[in-house]
Each structure stands twice: as structure tokens, then as C-alpha cells.
Amino acid sequence: MDGWRYTIQHQPASLLSRILERPFTDTTNTVPIDMTPNEKLRQIEELKQLEKNYNESGWLLNHFPEPLVGDPSCHYLAEKHGKCRASCYTVFVQDKEDDTYGCRHESCHAFQTNSLEDAITHQRTDHFDHRPFECIPHSGALW
């Protein structure tokens, strides 16, 4: 299978971002090379399902803190793709071999940080517009 490349076809005008759509033979990929094509497709579909679930969740819409992987309020698929007892956003964080973290969203293939917390913050702010820790003064008026 040397040189084999795999791509995903998408429906036009999708509101969801593009996840894991780069060819899987790329050395910076976010899917383990040893996965079968069907496993790769399943993982992509599950991550898209999680993204849709998060975008429609009450905690995101109301800017409440996100659930942790393993919480009853966290989607069951997050346990398969995320880091246990960490933010549910870890499903979209790529844990790279060089002790850095990347982003599974295609638009951020160059994103890299040394901190898991920074990678989670990247997901909150850049992909989900989630602000659970925004400072609001006692007056209630934003600055």
C-alpha cells in the first residue's frame, strides 16, 4: 500500500468544519497509520458527530464549562477519542510524538503547542467560540 492516499468527499455548504481530511500518509496526520480505511472513516464520522453534538449542546450555547470526558453529561464517543477526566475538547487535540499537541481540524494543521491546556483553549476559542470563563464585572456590563 505504499503511496496509497485516501480522501473524503464532503457535502457542499456544510456548517461543520473539516476534520481529518488530509491524506492519511502525511507524516503530520491525526489518524494512526496502522488503522484500516474503514477504521479511519469511522473515526472521522465519529469526530464529526461529536463536533455536531458539541455545537448543539446547552453548555456551549450558554457558555457554561464543558463536561469532562467520562462525565454522564459528556457524549459517549468522547471516551473513545478523548483524554479521560480532561475537557471533552481533547477529542480534537492531536497528541504528537514529540511531546507537543496539535489540532485535528484541517484548517489548523500547523497549530502546535507544548501545553494540553493551550490546545484545549485553542479548541474553545478558535473552533467553538466557547467562552465559559469570560470575565463579567459585578455591574453586568461587559468591558
CA 42 vs CA 50, 63, 105, 143: distances in Å: 12, 29, 16, 44
Beta strands in 7-131 (DSSP E): 93-95, 101-103
pLDDT higher than threshold 50 for residue 2: no
Confidence of residue 141 (pLDDT cuts 50, 70, 90): low
* pTM recorded for the entire structure: 0.74
pLDDT for 80-133, tens place per residue? 999 999 999 999 999 998 999 999 998 887 899 999 999 999 999 999 999 998
| Residues β-bridged to residue 101 | 95, 113
